[in-house]
Structure 1
């Protein structure tokens, strides 16, 4: 279009400036009114059309917004305003790559526009385009050399690129320009950031010199001393480091890290040296807890008993409920476990006979309550696997004091470890009724309800603390309550409700995406407030965000379900499923399937609309715009569980794990399962090699190796470069390339481990169905001499028997359950089936095996707790 037609007369130009001001001040209706006045006389003015589109986007009319912006851009392709507006529109939709392209186009027509450059730099740091970020910050530095943010942003661009020398030169030049005041926190933060860059450049001597030079200007004295102590240790100046850490301990005697750093600074290597220094610190800080607790990690034998006795007695005298949690780390040593049990049994005997913890010690004259000794011993025996004795002890404690909430929590935990999830949530419900205002007890009760697959009851339990007028499930999603959502996903998975489970997994995935997007607001804020060290920590945290365990749990469940859906796709549930498709030709069958999919989609949309209407009614005067824009409205369970590309969805969850959780063997086992179904032999081999480096004796890895060798023999019989590479690597990695020999050798070496026997039996049946009876005998042997004979591992055997991979008969399953019920009498998974007449509404959700056998868990680990 002719550029002259895009120039506005003075009157309309003034109106256009008012549109810009209305947009900045969020006066959108006035902005639209002024835009209408301009477009009445100049209907093809590109920048006005673009601004109108931007304002419509703010009002939620996204489709109209894009139409106006694109029309404005077509009318004036050389306008930086049109390109900038298009970039803002793309940015609002989280299409950052497209927005960057728009900003670069805008800069072609106005290369020195500060606002566009600032917006571009924000997107570049958000996307971690560090080279582009450096160029943009340099341009901003050139245009505004007097602004503090220009210096800081330019220096930080070099720091993030690990060009420490250039970053330090810029920071030092900037520091010289600062006017210092008596107590300048921002100047102090700049100095500490400068010291961070020096330390990361590995110039430790210079970093220490920098701290000493600017000590008076650094306001955070604790951080100053901590950095000084750290540098002294790294430089080998141990004596000076010990003095620093002694000063820090004096300042805060309950900081565990200070004591450990003092040990390192003093070069303590023997147990005697450590115990001696802690005796000295105990005398110096008699009320501090840490110098009494840490020596228990090092002492052994009589020395440990001498230290542990007063420690336990003091805690029991005071009635410290989390005493077991405090010393649980000692249970890695069987000798220490024996000493703990001996002491606690003696206390119990003394209390029963005399009412005192110790007969001869006059220090504890006041009678201690037997309650906390019983509670500790109950936790002790539960941890060691003796659930029956633990329950006897906790019942004695409850008879003594039936109103102590902690006792019910301990009882619930004991029952959970024994496999009785129903008893566990009943105990927690009792605790919850004793204190209905305790949010922790409420959450614990909800967690145990989910482990029992009672999702609706768990939601009702949580609703006591969620916002009124909104369903608990929706409010917990808004609050990003991920522990609830991951456990909910596991419960739905065990119940076979794959769509609902996937919805929860995708909601967790979106939470992490939202957290990544939320950092956008901090790029300018942190530079303005000079919290530079925290900003760098934030950027580095965001880079590894999906290594968090909540994402791991959600991704594991999602991958498991998608693999199951790939192996056994769900049929489209429509009213036309009764049609006989056997006599239809392929074209007619394709039309029918398409029609069924559309009908199912319409049905799901109708359900969503009905739910929206119900939610609007329940919210009353709530904002309907917010409701319509809820991020999970497209997460329809029926649509999720009938996806056309389940393996593609599984890879979406897997990729972050491959980057951030590569130290977990399950990541590579899941990758193997996906690539096996995609017929990608090299990627399968890559996953197996990574798994072998982490845990070569893992039982599930063995099954994957056997399946890979079988796949190689059956699918890759022809010669070629891929076959040659695989053969070479397999020969190098494994003692034999024959899967049957590999499995027999594995079984012979791992006869005493229940999980290994299960995987050997699986491999045996996969390789030769004739050996089904032998595999059954190997897998179902649950003798007392076997290692890892927990009810969770035995339940995995049960799930395999009930799966389509083995397809055991009802008699075989019943025999195995009876056998396990004798060993684990409280585990609900092995209860005999209840008669139909006694089934209640609540127990109908609890199948005899806790509904854990409704899904095939054989591809990856079961997500059950």
Structure 2
């Protein structure tokens, strides 16, 4: 008990030592006093481990306690049969084990023990009944689930959920007439829910993907009737556009666009962007809106039929048409035209924040991050109360490498009593900022600071996992069982979240770099960092590094002065950061082990993403765990056999195995057998490379990898590799995959491997991306 007290006083080492002494005095429960000391000691030891979030050890301790005292309170149901949460907890346990029959029986038995009949307005009882219905549904017996749902109708308070389940069950049981009626009732409740309309189509046996012209007319007629009844529903106006084509689509989208432009709907382009997946529809929209712009300029109306115009559109219609077209051409990556249109819109109405945001987005897509940030900041200054544009501007500042300015900007919306903006953002688990700042540090080769941010994101996910423990008793007590089950299932796949994946991917790449280059800890003047540079480039890089170091020192001194001033004023006590540069992460003695910690959750929770297996390959190859590396390649191959990185990794793997004289003969034999799954051993590597290139014609990334792979196979193929690269420059066949990020990657690769072609490629990129700052001068 003293150990338990000390644990609450945060003297954890003493607490653990005392509890272990208690256990050693009575391990088997031989004490014959007024109580059995041993099971209590094990229970207390479990509490200590639980407070340390060491749940595996805590579970072992509780299990020991239960073995010693079989009549313990742990046998909850038999000792307290009237306690609702024990019954529900048992049912959920069986449900999670997919023992649906027993889970249902537990809840049915509990309901039979109730002495007082629940009232119709008893929300908790209604939730328990809906949870039991969910168990029946997941058992696969939909007919019985529907019958059960009908039997509990009057006892359920959440009527909308009840109706949604009924419609879903009727549809699954192919009772189409009843399902249609059920979905119409749901549409009446919420005419902006797309899922209800999807259900309505299925109940009407309408295959929306294969409508002929006659069916399209009927389809539009149905939605016109619905639009009359639900005149304010955007979904009803938007839905038909997705499933019609040709003249029917043109007529429907013309009406939709004119109405939205007339009203000034800022989200209009976002609403129709999905239609651009069909090139014909994109062309129709462009033709219509260009026509509107021309007509509005001359006649102040969307369409002019040659007669005198009675009804003129409001002046704002012209502004919103410019705004839409600017986004349209930005989507097509016609940056010059998009900028021309958005600048005209800003000249028309210079006080509209959305215009500056769109201009910033266009400039970013065009490759001028600095001007994009300036445009976004100009918009931010028009409305300093807008948190959204403040966050956007912060992100653009980080993309432009302006960390100090970004922290100052985001700090305008953090707590005033916080020690500093970063501390508050970390406390709030503001992961988008941590990701962006971590990637900004990574671009500056400040690996320690970058890893520090990525580890903070990993800690947030660990905290979210630990926090679920606090919800267990609450959810059982409040009987929010369906939401509780959703939370448990979310926790099971928590680290598949895009934020975690992105942070883990970056962290793994840094640790791999640290493993490959142990001397690299930050931006350094060591000549080893300039191995592939010419003398002039080395001089320039060193000069740049010196300036960056001087600027960083100046910023650090300025920041230190501000902190000292704040400390004097006693604004807040700032906890001291023992490792501001993240040195402990960079100086790890086991970078591959640290990388594996980030990789393991991806392996378990994101196995369908090819990047997961490609990262695993990089780790296992460096560890010379050839069978695991090959397994990663096979799994990646099953996801996308034409992936460009995978192709090069297969060649790297074969070369590594062939050159390793210490490889175990049994391992070598298994590798040779299994490798045939992804590469037939009868095909020489040059032919394997040509075959890969033939399967992926017209793709710049694949062409680049094929050229690099030739050098990897044999350096004597340099001329053939350079001939392949000329196709990127001269052949318009590759224009379809010519995006700015791809061309930047290609340029960086050419500089490292085919330096003689770098300038030629840069000049071409300068023509393709006229405002991109990256290609304005030799980097």
- TM-score by length of structure 1 reads 0.79
Q: What does 1:551-700 align with in structure 2 at a 5 Å threshold?
A: 551-570=500-519, 617=567, 620=570, 627=575, 637-700=582-645
Equivalent residues of 1:357, 1:368 under 8 A apart: no
Equivalent residues of 2:419, 2:572 under 8 A apart: no
- Cα offset, 1:451, TM superposition: 1.4
Q: What does 1:326-725 align with in structure 2 at a 5 Å threshold?
A: 326-360=271-305, 365-369=312-316, 370-468=318-416, 469-570=418-519, 617=567, 620=570, 627=575, 637-715=582-660, 720-725=665-670
Give the aligned partner of residue 790 of structure 1: 739
Give the aligned partner of residue 172 of structure 1: 108
Which stretch shifts more, 709-718 or 156-165?
709-718
SS at match of 2:468: helix
Give the aligned partner of residue 542 of structure 2: none
Q: Is 1:243 matched up with 2:181?
A: yes
SS at match of 1:463: helix
Q: 1:707 to 1:683 in 2, by over 3 A?
A: same
SS at match of 1:181: coil
Q: What does 1:783-862 align with in structure 2 at a 5 Å threshold?
A: 783=730, 784-786=732-734, 787-803=736-752, 806=753, 809=755, 813-832=758-777
C-alpha offsets along residues 665-700 of structure 1, whole Å, 9 cap, x if unaligned?
A: 111111111111111221122111111111111111
List alignment gaps of at least 5 residues for structure 1: 1-50, 118-138, 579-606, 834-847, 849-865
Q: CA separation in 2, counterparts of 1:710 and 1:274?
A: 59
- Cα offset, 1:472, TM superposition: 1.5
Q: CA separation in 2, counterparts of 1:388 and 1:726?
A: 53
Q: CA separation in 2, counterparts of 1:229 and 1:751?
A: 48
Partner residue of 1:86 out of 45, 59, 69: 45
Q: 1:301 to 1:615 in 2, by over 3 A?
A: farther
Equivalent residues of 1:570, 1:642 under 8 A apart: no
- Cα offset, 1:104, TM superposition: 2.7
- Cα offset, 1:639, TM superposition: 1.6
Which stretch shifts more, 75-84 or 294-303?
75-84
C-alpha offsets along residues 793-826 of structure 1, whole Å, 9 cap, x if unaligned?
A: 01111222344xx3x65x7544443332232122
Q: Is 1:258 matched up with 2:196?
A: yes
Q: CA separation in 1, counterparts of 2:301 and 2:273?
A: 25
Q: CA separation in 1, counterparts of 2:172 and 2:377?
A: 53
Partner residue of 2:161 out of 220, 223, 226: 223
- Cα offset, 1:749, TM superposition: 4.1
Partner residue of 1:196 out of 134, 143, 148: 134
Give the RMSD, CA atoms, in angstroms. Answer: 2.7
C-alpha offsets along residues 337-378 of structure 1, whole Å, 9 cap, x if unaligned?
A: 100000000000011001111235989644352111111111
Give the aligned partner of residue 61 of structure 1: 11
Give the aligned partner of residue 543 of structure 2: none
Give the aligned partner of residue 684 of structure 2: 738
Equivalent residues of 2:448, 2:521 under 8 A apart: no
Q: CA separation in 2, counterparts of 1:364 and 1:688?
A: 65
SS at match of 1:785: helix
Q: CA separation in 2, counterparts of 1:150 and 1:749?
A: 60
Q: CA separation in 2, counterparts of 1:771 and 1:392?
A: 46
Q: 1:729 to 1:433 in 2, by over 3 A?
A: same
Q: CA separation in 2, counterparts of 1:312 and 1:633?
A: 58
C-alpha offsets along residues 607-627 of structure 1, whole Å, 9 cap, x if unaligned?
A: 9xx99x969937947578xx4
Q: CA separation in 2, counterparts of 1:72 and 1:615?
A: 51
Give the aligned partner of residue 280 of structure 1: 225
Q: CA separation in 2, counterparts of 1:61 and 1:614?
A: 32
- Cα offset, 1:437, TM superposition: 0.7
Equivalent residues of 2:419, 2:571 under 8 A apart: no
Equivalent residues of 1:83, 1:102 under 8 A apart: yes
Equivalent residues of 1:818, 1:832 under 8 A apart: no
- Cα offset, 1:719, TM superposition: 8.4
Q: Is 1:161 matched up with 2:108?
A: no
Partner residue of 1:317 out of 258, 262, 266: 262
- Cα offset, 1:772, TM superposition: 3.2
- TM-score by length of structure 2 reads 0.88
- Cα offset, 1:84, TM superposition: 2.2
Give the aligned partner of residue 62 of structure 2: 103
Equivalent residues of 1:570, 1:641 under 8 A apart: no
Equivalent residues of 1:141, 1:151 under 8 A apart: yes
Q: 1:777 to 1:565 in 2, by over 3 A?
A: farther
Q: 1:473 to 1:282 in 2, by over 3 A?
A: same
Partner residue of 2:714 out of 764, 768, 778: 768
How many residue pairs were aligned?
721
Q: CA separation in 2, counterparts of 1:719 and 1:151?
A: 56
Q: 1:290 to 1:234 in 2, by over 3 A?
A: same
Equivalent residues of 1:665, 1:694 under 8 A apart: yes
Q: CA separation in 2, counterparts of 1:503 and 1:719?
A: 39
Q: CA separation in 2, counterparts of 1:299 and 1:654?
A: 45
- Cα offset, 1:737, TM superposition: 4.2
Equivalent residues of 1:563, 1:646 under 8 A apart: yes
- Cα offset, 1:76, TM superposition: 4.8
Q: CA separation in 2, counterparts of 1:388 and 1:765?
A: 38
C-alpha offsets along residues 715-739 of structure 1, whole Å, 9 cap, x if unaligned?
A: 3798844333322333343355422
List alignment gaps of at least 5 residues for structure 2: 30-36, 528-556
Give the aligned partner of residue 547 of structure 2: none
